[in-house]
Amino acid sequence: MSQPSPLAPEKFPNLPAVPGVEISGLHVGLKPTKGVKDLMMARLARGTTIAGVFTQSKCPSAPVDWCRSVIGQGSARALIVNSGNANAFTGNAGDIVVSETVRAAAKLLKCPKREVFVASTGVIGVPVPPDYIAGKLPRMVKALKPKPWLNAAESIMTTDTFPKGAARKVRIGDAEVSLVGVTKGSGMIAPDMATMLCFVFTDAKIPARVLQTAIKAAANKSYNCITVDSDTSTSDTVLMCATGKGARHEPVVTATDSHFREFRRALDDLMIDLATQVVRDGEGAQKLITIDVTGAQSAQSAKRIGLSIANSPLVKTAVAGEDANWGRIVMAVGKAGEPADRDRLSISMGGVPITENGIVREDYVEAPVAEHMKGQAIHIGVDIGLGRGKARVWTCDLTHGYITINADYRS
């Protein structure tokens, strides 16, 4: 593992146990370096509900195909996630790895195969022996414990430079429940899920249908609002499991229940925390960039404009160079293809208004903005001046580090 990103948190947080969830993370030999963890397992209590969102790639991996085919029934007993091999573009061999893994897990845990979920991340196009992961499951089951979240987070890392996790405590009615999530990703990151995996667990009791609404909405505000390099992976997977084994709470019947509102806010917040950890580990990242777009014709239009800015190599290299180059932001707004009028556009950086009504302000002084650009947290504000649509997206800068990491990855 290389040096942790300069944007990494000081340490991995202390994550609580989630009643109904046991986890393990071990080295089983999928990654070449001995001791580097590469397989994660979660055992889920009977009655656990599950929901998820997956990559929009038209060439998804075999594990994504499997999860999509079984998630509709909404219950889960096991989650098996490997790193070191994406099991993508492996043809029929890839499907066999999945079915062998699922069969073995179902047998060990005495559950239907449709309650076993799998995800893989790593090299594309290299098949693993069909029963390789299946054969490691007895060891994984033996290692299951309520709290080794760090092991779990480490075992799903690829080019990540730090393990990623977060937790929230939240009330449903009078009862307190937990939310814990682990995630990975540091390149091939773009909206609609990029090489990123995210697993969220709660001990609340939530019907699968409601869970699906909540996780999809949360992903739209978090993982679908981040981009490192505009590349979308074959394997992106966000899964959320609700065990119902925590404190008893007022039943949740619909996603809009008023006593469920606080939970959803906490879930959104947790997902944004996890998603921005992925951006903080963006390959080569030196700066975290937050982009607020306001005044667009709609929220969707605002998001598209935000992502056009966030995906622009010229904006990202300017930030890397600590250059308050607002001209490149104008360019990126223009290329988004969304309604915009250059004569209404206002741009700020670090909260300092730079342009107004399509021209640089007469009172603009660059010094405070130049100072802001030297920091690690960069803010770009763009007001389109047309409507009330707004969105916030996150990205990182584009540096020599990105080139070094990606020009030399396989060798």
Residues catalogued as catalytic:
195
Q: What is the largest CA-CA distance in the chain?
A: 72
Helix pair angle (326-335, 299-310), 10° resolution: 130
CB of 23 to a copy of itself, least distance (A): 29
The single residue among 330, 349, 352, 378 that binds a copy of itself, judged by CB under 8 A, is 330
Q: Could you tell me the smallest distance in angstroms from the CB atom of residue 204 to a copy of itself?
A: 34
Q: Could you tell me the CA-to-CA distances from 388 to 88, 299, 391 in Å, in that order?
A: 41, 8, 10
C-beta pairs of 64-72 under 8 Å, 24+ apart in sequence? 64/119, 64/234, 64/235, 64/236, 64/237, 65/95, 65/98, 66/95, 66/98, 66/99, 66/102, 66/117, 66/118, 67/117, 67/118, 67/119, 67/237, 67/239, 70/113, 70/114, 70/115, 70/117, 71/117
**312 near a copy of itself, rule: CB under 8 A:** yes
For residue 216 the two structure tokens come to 């999809």
Residue closer to a copy of itself (CB basis): 180 or 193: 193
| Binding test (CB under 8 A) with a copy of itself, winner from 87, 161, 202, 233 | 233
Q: Name the segment binding a copy of itself (CB under 8 A); options: 74-82, 152-160, 266-274, 316-324.
A: 316-324
**Using the rule CB under 8 A, is 327 a contact of a copy of itself?**
yes
Among 15, 340, 369, 393, binds a copy of itself (CB under 8 A): 340
Q: Which stretch binds a copy of itself (CB under 8 A): 86-94, 104-112, 168-176, 256-264?
A: 86-94
Q: Residue 102: which residues within 8 A CB-CB, separation 6 or more?
A: 66, 113, 116, 118
**Under the criterion CB under 8 A, does residue 60 sit at the interface with a copy of itself?**
yes
Q: How far is the CB of 237 from a copy of itself (least distance, A)?
A: 14
DSSP three-state, residue 23: strand
Place of tokens 């066999």: 96
Residue 357 interacting with a copy of itself (CB under 8 A): yes
Site for a copy of itself in 87-106 (CB under 8 A): 88-93
Query: Which residue lies nearer to a copy of itself by CB, 220 or 230?
Result: 230
Sign of CA dihedral 305, 283, 273, 52: positive
- Give CA–CA dist 341/353, Å, rounded: 18
Query: Site for a copy of itself (CB under 8 A): which residue of 320, 382, 391, 393?
Result: 320
Residue 295 sits in the site that holds a copy of itself (CB under 8 A)? no
Under rule CB under 8 A, residue 353 binds a copy of itself: no
**Contact flag: residue 82 with a copy of itself (CB under 8 A):** no
Q: Does 339 bind a copy of itself (CB under 8 A)?
A: yes
Q: Is 289 in the site for a copy of itself (CB under 8 A)?
A: no
